A and B are shown apart, each in its own frame.
Chain A
Amino acid sequence: MDQQSNKAHRPANSGAKAEKKSKAKGKEKQHGFNEKAFAPKSGRRADRQGRRNVERDQTRLHVPLVNRTPDDQPPPVIVAIVGPPGVGKTTLLKSLVRRYTKQTLNEVKGPVTVVSGKKKRITFIECNSDLNSMIDIGKIADLVLLMIDGSYGFEMETFEFLNILQSHGFPKVIGVLTHLDLIKKAATLRATKKALKKRFWTEIYQGAKLFYLSGVMNGRYPDTEILNLSRFISVMKFRPLVFRNSHPYLLADRLEDLTPREQVRTSKGKCDRTVTVYGYLRGTNLRLGTKVHIPGVGDLSMKSVTALGDPCPLPDADSEKRRKLSEKKKLLIHAPMSDVGGVVYDKDAVYINVPGSFTRGAADVPQGEGEQMVMDLQDVKTTIEDQVAQSQIRLFGSSSRPLSVQAGPSRLPDDSDDSDDGSDSEEDSEDGSRSDSDVDEDASDGFSDEDDSDMEDDGAGPSDRGRLSMRSVHRSMGDLPSHARQRQEVDYADSDSDLGDDNDDGVLVGGQEEGADLPDSYESDEQMVDDSDEEVPKWKSDLAAKAHASFTQDSRRNRRRDWTKLIYMTSLSPDEILLDKQTRIADAGGGMGDEDFFTVIKKSGEEVEEIDTSKDTLSPDHLKVWEDEELLDSLRGLFITGSSAEAAITGEDDQVEGSDAEEADGEVDADDPQATRAAALAKKKEALKRKFDEQYDDPESAKVDFYEEQKDQMARQLELNRAEFEGIDPEARVLVEGYRPGTYVRIELENVPCELVENFDPSYPIIVGGLLASEERFGYLQVRIKRHRWYTKTLKTNDPLIFSLGWRRFQTIPIYSLDDHSIRMRMLKYTPEHMHCYATFYGPISLPNTGFCALNTLSSEVAGFRVSATGVVLDIDRSAKIVKKLKLTGVPYKIFKNTAFIKNMFNSALEVAKFEGANIRTVSGIRGQVKKALAKPDGAFRATFEDKILMSDIVFLRAWYSIQPRKFYNPVTSLLLSQKGHWTGMRLTGQVRREEGLKTPTNVNSTYKPVERPARRFNTLKVPKKLQAALPYASKSKLVKQQHRQTYLQKRAVMLEPEEKKAIALLQQIRALRKDQVARRKEKQEQRRVTHRQKVEKEEAKKGEKEKEKRKQHMRAAGMKARQESGEDGGRERKRRRT
């Protein structure tokens, strides 16, 4: 093809186009960063700007927290969907599950786990509107999808939930607005969105994400909107919350009852159950021996924990390779409690069946016989062996224990995994027959027999008990004496040959003692030591001092000892552990006979008794060896002045850098000393180089700020945590560090109340929260508390209150108090209006700084806001120091100058003695002091005052009476009820009386009576005649006798003058006229008032009618809406409470 030649383009040099271009060019110039634009105009401004930037940077920083969740296999993120009933939670959950797995769930119950990415899984859980569920979900959710009905607005539950979240560490929240299609007018829609967003932002934070889901199509939300939401979920980053970062926890996605059926039957279902729960471990490592709390049930102890295969594993390279093209194959979902395939949930395992070639659930579709059979097979979730194991057969009805079999020692490692049980059932049967044949060998494995039986359970769960149980019992019945003998063997650890044999073919291979391989026993080890004894090294004889030889020999032996095993796996006493080493030394040297050995252990307290000392007594004879110069010189290498060559003699090779001791621990071949020296030299050089580099090369790296330093330190520690137990085998690892978060575990719980199983409802979440050692205890907690401003009542001391604190929900009786001048805690009857106060109550201990919220009721019938208070734990103690004021009153019965005798304050001299020196006061404010008890009236005392008091004064003593909160703790056992929302705790007295129809008893002394105050009589003042005479006139009492005769003024007759008479008459007439006038005026006014009142009444009536009409209209609209909703969605039963 020949080239086509086109005319070259000539850009226009003039005209509109050229102008436009040139303009654009000019604009382009301004693109990008213009340095001048932001240059400060003045130095001061530059300074201010700089400071502002630094401050802004600081606000971005958060206290660095260690994230204890492993990065490689993190547990699924819990996404909780929360909202009022009828808002569309289930629809959203279904839509999201559909988005991730391309499957539609029919009914969702319990958590649903899906794989959402290469390294991410999500557990979705729907939260019902019960307050208990909301509290529990709030404690575990990593992300909350808070659903709000856009057509209705916020509801009370939403705010309650937000307050619960706030007090238990705020997880991430995404708001989801639904039902927006019900708003028809665009302007209203916009306004509603805006208003709701504003409210949401004030609740969460400015700029919090709020999603809008428009309408429901095909029972789902639109795919694009769900896609957007899922993208937001996937990029969400989670900051570790303090409480969850210090507690292990688990959201149970499956619950199984393991109680023997027979026991259930005989006890009519009322016996305590043994229950297993399954789920992903979260938070921190779950150690053995910790207690757990299930909110709504109580504290339980774990019988065993087993790590299971991940039911919803992350895709790895291997699984990617195996992935089929059929798209549904790759999408995993794990939701044992949801009955997706039409399988009814019972207490046994039910998984969602991923529809492959058959589609399940459609019962009306006719199925072939073969299909039916395959489906039946799919229904079977446990192998026969499992079922047998769980059924726990009894040989006789009266047997105290169900049959069980201890797995043989050689089977331990490969049976730990439950997931492959189904496949190797025949293998198990082989094992069974083998173990039958060599009964003795199996049973003689002492450690699995007795003290470490729980470990055994860990290793081989009940799943491999099934078939073997019969045999085990036969055996134990057959040769009981042999059992006893074996026990003896274990206790005293006499080495015997068959033990050794047993272990030789077992796991242990000579010399392989990486840390702690558990299953092998101490005996084999001992044997190994013996072996090494026989080949006593020649080089020992080179040393001059015999003692030195003994030291090195000693150490040579010790290297072979596995201390972890010796300490934890044997029942040897510490002395025996240390001593048997010494005896063997003696044997090797041939110095000490057997008799000598036995004299070491003294028999009775006749001799010096063994005492608890921290210092060994120094024996000069033993230390004599240090007189030897050679031995002294051998230590030179340990000192800073000694050379490293000398160090090599004693073998105390020092390490220059210990920070990377993993390297030192690593595999350095010991055989070639040349190589080791070279390696050591290389390491030293490396360290020196690093040091040099740090100092000279990179000045930036040297000056990291505090924040970075802390983060680095945490990262280093996490790295160390990971590295330290990397190599050791899983069982030993579990023993040392527990189960790591992200593991799918099965926890067996003992003594679970039967109601949990009987009244199990998968829509209520079951959370297993690990407790710290201190949290199992009880005590008095002092908390800082504030009544919620939306809670309408005040809180009263000694009224029961429901707390949600830590994992627990419980009812207790707080006493409120305030700090009184830092001297005392003074009781408050009621919580203050807008202020924090203290509350002290009895309950399970939580660490200081744990947040909580308190509620007065959990019932959903209450109209108002239910979260009544929030706060934080301050202090934990075994006693409370709250006081209330007590005033003791007394009256004086004898008064001297400044002294008075007071009675009626105390009852006995002993009481007075207790209060000697106490401050007292009269009502008039005269202060005084209690001096000493008086003999005569009981409880009377002498007191002195700063002034003379009156007989009429009341004397009072202000004292403080200490009160203790009531020891009342009532856990909210909501999960045990058949109606989970109707838990009622202790009621108030008034409430009880009201419900029982009782009248309040009245105290006679408390009734009000008219106060009688008798008139006070005073005696006449009598002045003695002598004194009277001596007084000056002015001071003399003027005693004049009363006149008994009328005076002149009284008895004279008065006659009026005619003018006067006239004047008086006139005044009288005027007054009469005036009176009449006023009366008439009043009458008229009254008439006017009556007419006005009538008028007003008329208007009122008119207004009322209008109001009534309005209300009618509103109710009609509301009713219509309700009817509409109930028609479209069954989930919306309850009437809403409007905020």
Chain B
Amino acid sequence: MAQPGNVLNFSGHLHLRSRLVLSILSGKAVKIDHIRSEDKNPGLRDYEVSLLRLLERITNGTVIEISVTGTALLLKPGVIAGGPVTHDCPLSRSIGYFLEPVIMLAPFSKRPLQLTLRGITSDDRDLSVDLIRTVTLPQLQAFGVSDGLELRIRKRGSPPLGGGEVQLICPIVKELKTLNFVERGKIKRIRGISHAVRVNPQFSNRMIEAARSVLNRYIPDIYLYSDVYKGEDSGKSPGYGLSILSESTTGAMHCAEALSQPGVAPEDIALLATRALLQEVQRGGCVDSHHQTLVLLFMVLGSEDVGRCRMGEPTARTIQFLRDVKMAFGTTFKIVPAEKSDPASTELVYSCYGVGYVNANRTLS
């Protein structure tokens, strides 16, 4: 029901998820054209169509129009309804691809969302469900989304055949709290989950050993859990992986993960993950590069106060996201170096004035 002037126009297939989320949250229709129009295989991919379907299912009154060739898309958003939803994700992308936009929307739905997703639980393109559970969801707590927020990993599913199942339970909020997170603190603990399905359970322990060999020098408080799923819960394909995160005294979290590749020893996988984590830590900030967009979005949606967050440099995704946010909400961030006195520091403080987004979908009884 958007008025004619209220259409966000984008082009290209990139950043589809964040654009759809911004459209649904802001209530403005979104029109995306030139979706792989130059490609041999033009138009939307199956996972993108699946995402649209998922969004249609968790909302009420959403109108999605896709052109005949699939290269253009018009979405007129409805209200976020929530409630129990089940969705089968295609095997081309992992569940993380679908969970990320849903987590951005879920706190603003009419009823608490209980979303069951089936498919691949972790792959090397999107955040695995482990990281979403251990890092992404705790990020929401800073915004006041905490009671009953949960991600249950029922079954694990590795690529290519998947077979995993997770359930996201997300409460609703009236308003997000304003974030003021500028102290990064010092890292006080490192946690990790090393999972293995349909392979020798020793793989998991080998990964833990390898990761510890690097991390032990820093801090004694390291727990890397070995999480081996068996039988029905282990999905259809073999695989293993290590996801680790560091948490600082102020609650700043950085994470990284690596997943099994054919012909690579588990030790190497673990080293890869560990080094990626160190790199993340070196980037600095209170939020790691994977969660920049999520935190920035929730800062924009906060009450009409100044929210501040310290982060590393923006990624390409974040830069585009900031531009899209400006289109959708008109919010501009002030980005200044965190420490002016220190020339070597790459950390930036992002501050913005929240739009005072109130969950209009919430029912008053």
Residues of A that sit less than 8 Å from B by CB? 66, 68, 246, 284-285, 287-290, 299, 301, 514-516, 551-552, 554-556, 558-559, 563-564, 566-568, 573-575, 577-578, 604-606, 609-615, 617-618, 620, 623, 626, 632, 635-636, 638-642, 650-658, 661, 664-665, 667-670, 676, 717-718, 720-721, 724-725, 728, 732, 735-738, 772-774, 776-779, 845, 847-849, 872-879
* A638 touching B126 in the complex, CB below 8 Å, given contacts A515-B334, A568-B332, A653-B339: no
Establish whether residues A568 and B219, one from each chain, have CB atoms under 8 Å apart when the complex forms.
no
Establish whether residues B184 and A574, one from each chain, have CB atoms under 8 Å apart when the complex forms.
no
- Expressed in whole angstroms, the Cα–Cα distance for A558 and B347 within the complex equals 9
Tell me the nearest residue of chain A to B336, going by C-beta: A515
Most buried by B among A514, A555, A611, A845: A555
**A626 cross-chain contacts in B, Cβ below 8 A:** 214, 274-275, 278-279
**B203 touches A (CB below 8 Å):** no
**B318 cross-chain contacts in A, Cβ below 8 A:** 574
Q: Which of A656, A779, A874 is in CB contact (< 8 Å) with B1?
A: A779
Q: Which of B15, B180, B340 is in CB contact (< 8 Å) with A612?
A: B15
Excluding A246-B304, A847-B358, 5 further A-B contacts by CB distance (< 8 Å) are A287-B330, A568-B326, A605-B36, A626-B279, A849-B364
Most buried by B among A614, A654, A717: A614
**A568 cross-chain contacts in B, Cβ below 8 A:** 322-323, 326, 332
**A641 cross-chain contacts in B, Cβ below 8 A:** 218-220
**B267 touches A (CB below 8 Å):** no
CB interface residues, B 271-309, toward A, < 8 Å: 271-276, 278-279, 281-282, 284, 290, 303-306, 308
Interface size on B, residues (CB 8 A): 112
**B268 touches A (CB below 8 Å):** yes
Tell me the nearest residue of chain A to B178, going by C-beta: A717
Establish whether residues A567 and B323, one from each chain, have CB atoms under 8 Å apart when the complex forms.
yes
**B83 touches A (CB below 8 Å):** no
**B160 touches A (CB below 8 Å):** no
Contacts A/B (CB < 8 Å), 7 sampled:
A285-B304, A555-B343, A615-B257, A717-B306, A736-B353, A773-B355, A878-B60
**A848 cross-chain contacts in B, Cβ below 8 A:** 360, 362-364
* A575 touching B316 in the complex, CB below 8 Å, given contacts A609-B36, A640-B187: yes
Q: Which of A301, A732, A738, A779 is in CB contact (< 8 Å) with B353?
A: A738
Establish whether residues B186 and A642, one from each chain, have CB atoms under 8 Å apart when the complex forms.
yes
**B7 cross-chain contacts in A, Cβ below 8 A:** none
**B206 cross-chain contacts in A, Cβ below 8 A:** none
* A777 touching B1 in the complex, CB below 8 Å, given contacts A551-B282, A609-B36: yes
Establish whether residues A717 and B305, one from each chain, have CB atoms under 8 Å apart when the complex forms.
yes
**B356 touches A (CB below 8 Å):** yes
- Expressed in whole angstroms, the Cα–Cα distance for A635 and B303 within the complex equals 36
A711 to chain B, nearest CB (A): 15
Tell me the nearest residue of chain A to B328, going by C-beta: A773
Establish whether residues A874 and B364, one from each chain, have CB atoms under 8 Å apart when the complex forms.
yes
Most buried by A among B249, B357, B358: B358
- Expressed in whole angstroms, the Cα–Cα distance for A574 and B321 within the complex equals 10
Establish whether residues B282 and A635, one from each chain, have CB atoms under 8 Å apart when the complex forms.
yes
Establish whether residues A776 and B353, one from each chain, have CB atoms under 8 Å apart when the complex forms.
no
**B186 cross-chain contacts in A, Cβ below 8 A:** 638-640, 642, 654
- Expressed in whole angstroms, the Cα–Cα distance for A605 and B71 within the complex equals 15
Establish whether residues A873 and B219, one from each chain, have CB atoms under 8 Å apart when the complex forms.
no
- Expressed in whole angstroms, the Cα–Cα distance for A773 and B301 within the complex equals 11
- Expressed in whole angstroms, the Cα–Cα distance for A609 and B5 within the complex equals 33
Q: Which of A614, A623, A874 is in CB contact (< 8 Å) with B317?
A: A614
Establish whether residues B356 and A284, one from each chain, have CB atoms under 8 Å apart when the complex forms.
yes
Q: Which of A554, A606, A618, A875 is in CB contact (< 8 Å) with B258?
A: A618
**B39 touches A (CB below 8 Å):** yes
CB interface residues, B 53-84, toward A, < 8 Å: 60-61, 78-79
Establish whether residues B127 and A612, one from each chain, have CB atoms under 8 Å apart when the complex forms.
no
Tell me the nearest residue of chain B to A290, going by C-beta: B330
Establish whether residues B341 and A668, one from each chain, have CB atoms under 8 Å apart when the complex forms.
yes
**B346 touches A (CB below 8 Å):** yes
Establish whether residues A720 and B353, one from each chain, have CB atoms under 8 Å apart when the complex forms.
no
**A611 cross-chain contacts in B, Cβ below 8 A:** 125
Establish whether residues A578 and B60, one from each chain, have CB atoms under 8 Å apart when the complex forms.
no
Establish whether residues B268 and A620, one from each chain, have CB atoms under 8 Å apart when the complex forms.
yes
* A618 touching B317 in the complex, CB below 8 Å, given contacts A68-B304, A301-B5, A641-B218: no
**A658 cross-chain contacts in B, Cβ below 8 A:** 181-183, 250
A109 to chain B, nearest CB (A): 34
**B124 cross-chain contacts in A, Cβ below 8 A:** 615, 617-618
CB interface residues, B 206-236, toward A, < 8 Å: 214, 217-220
Establish whether residues B343 and A736, one from each chain, have CB atoms under 8 Å apart when the complex forms.
no
**A573 cross-chain contacts in B, Cβ below 8 A:** 320
CB interface residues, B 179-196, toward A, < 8 Å: 180-188
Q: What are the 7 closest A-B residue pairs judged by CB atoms, nearest first?
A: A878-B61, A658-B183, A289-B330, A651-B344, A574-B319, A574-B316, A626-B275
**B217 cross-chain contacts in A, Cβ below 8 A:** 632, 636
Establish whether residues B360 and A845, one from each chain, have CB atoms under 8 Å apart when the complex forms.
yes
Establish whether residues A623 and B183, one from each chain, have CB atoms under 8 Å apart when the complex forms.
no
**B284 cross-chain contacts in A, Cβ below 8 A:** 652
Establish whether residues A721 and B306, one from each chain, have CB atoms under 8 Å apart when the complex forms.
yes
Establish whether residues B334 and A574, one from each chain, have CB atoms under 8 Å apart when the complex forms.
no
**B26 cross-chain contacts in A, Cβ below 8 A:** 773
Most buried by B among A636, A667, A773: A773
Establish whether residues A246 and B330, one from each chain, have CB atoms under 8 Å apart when the complex forms.
no
- Expressed in whole angstroms, the Cα–Cα distance for A776 and B7 within the complex equals 12
B58 to chain A, nearest CB (A): 13
Establish whether residues B183 and A661, one from each chain, have CB atoms under 8 Å apart when the complex forms.
yes
**B272 cross-chain contacts in A, Cβ below 8 A:** 618, 620, 623
Establish whether residues B290 and A614, one from each chain, have CB atoms under 8 Å apart when the complex forms.
yes
* A774 touching B27 in the complex, CB below 8 Å, given contacts A558-B346, A614-B290, A618-B258: yes
Establish whether residues A777 and B279, one from each chain, have CB atoms under 8 Å apart when the complex forms.
no
Establish whether residues B323 and A776, one from each chain, have CB atoms under 8 Å apart when the complex forms.
no
**B250 cross-chain contacts in A, Cβ below 8 A:** 658
Establish whether residues A615 and B185, one from each chain, have CB atoms under 8 Å apart when the complex forms.
no
- Expressed in whole angstroms, the Cα–Cα distance for A635 and B186 within the complex equals 11
* A875 touching B363 in the complex, CB below 8 Å, given contacts A290-B330, A564-B333, A640-B186: yes
**B121 cross-chain contacts in A, Cβ below 8 A:** none
- Expressed in whole angstroms, the Cα–Cα distance for A736 and B5 within the complex equals 23
Establish whether residues B27 and A777, one from each chain, have CB atoms under 8 Å apart when the complex forms.
yes
* A655 touching B183 in the complex, CB below 8 Å, given contacts A290-B330, A725-B306: yes
Establish whether residues B317 and A574, one from each chain, have CB atoms under 8 Å apart when the complex forms.
yes
- Expressed in whole angstroms, the Cα–Cα distance for A606 and B28 within the complex equals 35
Q: Which of A612, A654, A717, A779 is in CB contact (< 8 Å) with B61?
A: A779
A320 to chain B, nearest CB (A): 33
**B85 touches A (CB below 8 Å):** no
Establish whether residues A670 and B330, one from each chain, have CB atoms under 8 Å apart when the complex forms.
no
- Expressed in whole angstroms, the Cα–Cα distance for A1076 and B346 within the complex equals 126
Establish whether residues A615 and B125, one from each chain, have CB atoms under 8 Å apart when the complex forms.
yes
* A578 touching B38 in the complex, CB below 8 Å, given contacts A635-B278, A640-B186, A720-B306: no
- Expressed in whole angstroms, the Cα–Cα distance for A564 and B334 within the complex equals 6
**B87 cross-chain contacts in A, Cβ below 8 A:** none
Establish whether residues B355 and A610, one from each chain, have CB atoms under 8 Å apart when the complex forms.
no
**B303 cross-chain contacts in A, Cβ below 8 A:** 66
Establish whether residues B342 and A670, one from each chain, have CB atoms under 8 Å apart when the complex forms.
yes
- Expressed in whole angstroms, the Cα–Cα distance for A378 and B15 within the complex equals 58
Tell me the nearest residue of chain B to A652, going by C-beta: B284
Establish whether residues A563 and B314, one from each chain, have CB atoms under 8 Å apart when the complex forms.
yes
A628 to chain B, nearest CB (A): 11
**B165 touches A (CB below 8 Å):** no
- Expressed in whole angstroms, the Cα–Cα distance for A665 and B79 within the complex equals 41
A339 to chain B, nearest CB (A): 37
**B188 cross-chain contacts in A, Cβ below 8 A:** 639-640
**B198 touches A (CB below 8 Å):** no
Establish whether residues A613 and B126, one from each chain, have CB atoms under 8 Å apart when the complex forms.
yes
- Expressed in whole angstroms, the Cα–Cα distance for A911 and B168 within the complex equals 39
CB interface residues, B 232-281, toward A, < 8 Å: 249-250, 256-258, 268, 271-276, 278-279, 281
**A845 cross-chain contacts in B, Cβ below 8 A:** 360
Tell me the nearest residue of chain B to A658, going by C-beta: B183
**B130 touches A (CB below 8 Å):** no
